[in-house]
Structure 1
Amino acid sequence: MDAKELAIVDDDEAVRSALIWLLDGQPFVVRAFESAEALLQSGDAARFHCLIVDLRLGGMSGLVLLERLSQAAYCPPVIMLTAHGDVPHAVAALKLGAIDFLEKPFDDERLMALVFQCLERDEVQRKAYRQTLDIRTAQASLTEREREVMALVLSGKLNKQIADELAISMKTVEVHRSRVFDKMGVKSAVELASRFVSRVS
């Protein structure tokens, strides 16, 4: 199993070094960046399983970085750091999805506990994200008629009702229904509905 990657984004070299030292020896790979721009230019930030980001960075701020990342398809869990006890910024960071907001100098044990909390949350979120991608891929493979049949199945309609509504034979409905189940990777209407419920929950 590949080691999980963590990213540190802080324009203070001493802080970056201290964090690298603190996280050294743990079962993950740590990469440090001196700016938000450097992180974004390094490639897809979603490859990281936890981000430790300073609020006040030269150039793009940590808050703007978090806002940018929150608009991406997948945003890893983020811990925000700051030397300034700025409550409005703390609230903004939490609203954008940050796990927590720590003032420097931070407690090492508290930070480590948050890092492992991030890794646990990332595992759950990443699994849900992949399931959503699988559902979208499966949906994209459906024909227009199969989408119509699926929508009616999800609304609770029986085969005869679907046949009447679409003006097709029940046999044709059964064929489309079977293809929908195959493509969506389910064996029943209940299982099909549960996939969409789990996707939005």
Structure 2
Amino acid sequence: QSSAVFRFTILDLSGPSGIEHIDTAFLQGTSSLLFVIDAQDQDQLAGALEMLVSAVVRLFRANPRVLFEIFLHKVDGLSESHKLELLRDITHKVKVRLEERGVGDANTSYYLSSIYDHSVFESMSKVVQKLIPHLATLEGLLDVLVTNCRMDKAFLFDVFSKICVASDSQPVDSQSVELMSDVIDVVSDLASIYEED
């Protein structure tokens, strides 16, 4: 995925062997590791956590600056209390295991996500924003836009992926991001109708 604002190189490392076969030189240039855990598959959770911890240990030793983004995915079928309990449980287990292996200071972040709402876009937006070196400049420019145009809020979205690249410095609520994502869908649908062949 490439755009004018950010560039990705995505390497899918599914399966138990995953990161073990990747060259250390490649890992040293990695900015972020996104690890997805199926929140509904409790039978595979222990194995997934072990794969996560092994990947974090290997990558952290090759590159201590890397960001570890852990998505607890498919949480749409869980109650709010169960989501929070699962998040707390996984966060604690991973922290303990990383400390046991001497990498307790690895930079880990956790997100609850689902494809049935906008949480996956919001979570990916947070991951991407961490990787943009000039995010503060973009936020400052959006602050100027909001002030000069008397707007309530300003967002900078990548239309294709629906990732929020930046927003002004006012706090962002999930409903606003969800609304902007819906607006992007409508505009994209209308644009395709009136597009010249």
On whether the aligned pair clears a TM of 0.5, the verdict is no
More helix, by proportion: 1
Larger RCO (CA under 8 A, 6+ residues apart): 2
TM-score tier after normalising by the smaller chain length: 0.3 to 0.5
Q: TM-score, normalised by structure 2?
A: 0.39
Q: TM-score, normalised by structure 1?
A: 0.38
